[in-house]
Structure 1
Amino acid sequence: MIIDLSKLRKNYNTRNSLLESDVPKKPIHLFDNWFQQEKYFHKKDEEVNAMSISTIGKDGCPETRIVLLKEYSESGFIFYTNYYSLKGRAIQNIPKVCISFYWKNTDRQIIIKGITSKIPRKKSDNYFHNRPRENKIGSWTSRQSMILSSKNHLLKQYKKWNDFFRKKIVKRPFDWGGYIIKPYKMEFWQGQPNRLHDRLVYFLEEKNKWILYRFYP
């Protein structure tokens, strides 16, 4: 079976451009600028903080999935997951990751490479405490990335933990928490007509000092 997708094509007619003279010295400030604009364009039920994250498994092959960005600052980008998930085990082995955002409303992409490490336990505790109770129960229920015998078994496990915590505070599981990605490369991509896209790339040369290059599209 051959499915021809050659005619699926979008022409970028955006009025936005990306010029060196218009961007800040630190890429986190440009990220914040774009992110705040995206929050304005997105509907309330759309996850503007959705990002892909790629890790390297023991087989040497990249693996990519979507997670949610929960915090960002000059220190890095924070997300939460099960430490024993495939991504958690991959990070433990090789802490280098790549995350990316794609926002179709403004024809923009951001690609970030960085080094990942666990955040302090207290910070993970504080975030977990503020999650909806149902989500907390879900974290106790799921042995993320492990083989599951059936959907029915998962639902039974959820009920078991829900009953267990009926009259108790749902504390953070020991195998669940946050990671921070400290970037050393950040690329900003702005779609342009005729495929002449703008690509500005920041590289971290030393602590808090970034150098900026323009790349061919």
Structure 2
Amino acid sequence: MILNDLYYLLTDKRWFVDHIRKKYNGISKSKIVQLPITWGLKRLPLKDEVRLATLLLILLLISFAMLVSTNGALVDNFPRFFKMNREPFYSLSVPLVILFCLGIYYKLRVKFSLNNNGVRSSERLRNSHIGISVDQLVLPPFIRQFSVQKTLGGTPPFLNPITLSSSQISQIDVKWYQYYSSRNDYSFRQNQIDSIEIKLIDGQVYILNSWVFPYSSLLYLFIKFNYPVSLDDIGDR
């Protein structure tokens, strides 16, 4: 598809959920929009996924074992009090235990994701956003490792952001597929972005191919800010 044919997609619910359209519909084209990178959604190597899943299971088992033990101790020490219904105790404590374990799991997942991409904890802040406006696209430093043509020497890879003027970009290839979603017993098609390739005039290519990137918001603003976007359907999933 040619760029000028894509504006109609901005109102297409198969591409953009309501909150994205409402958030960016009236945005000023002179504004630099900061889109957060969600490190906790980074695809990890299988061995790391298994480690984290195993750790979460162990955390849950230990936490629930401690919960049952604590409840038993309270019953022994305060028998009159615990003649009452104990359901409120569990209805409050069980969700808190689950949230606590998920919180630890998420923090560890972020740490694994950063390490997997060679980003130190001290560099996380400068690798936390993508900036986009009509005139420029600012990519975080760690995306240099996803470049098809890596520059040898020069600036250390994770210190400075990658600032690209819109005139440097020859094309933005968006690979996408369809899947079926259901809501209220009604099945409908949704479009999901698989990856985004940013191609420069000088031949450099930056590939964004992980859930860590805000795909939908990026595509919406690429179209709205008149970037040279093309869509490549890679088939149903």
TM-score strictly above 0.5: no
Q: Which has the higher helix share?
A: 2
Scaled by the length of structure 2, the TM-score of the pair is 0.21
Higher relative contact order (CA 8 A, sep 6+): 2
Largest Rg, 1 or 2: 2
Judging by fraction of residues, say which structure has more strand.
1
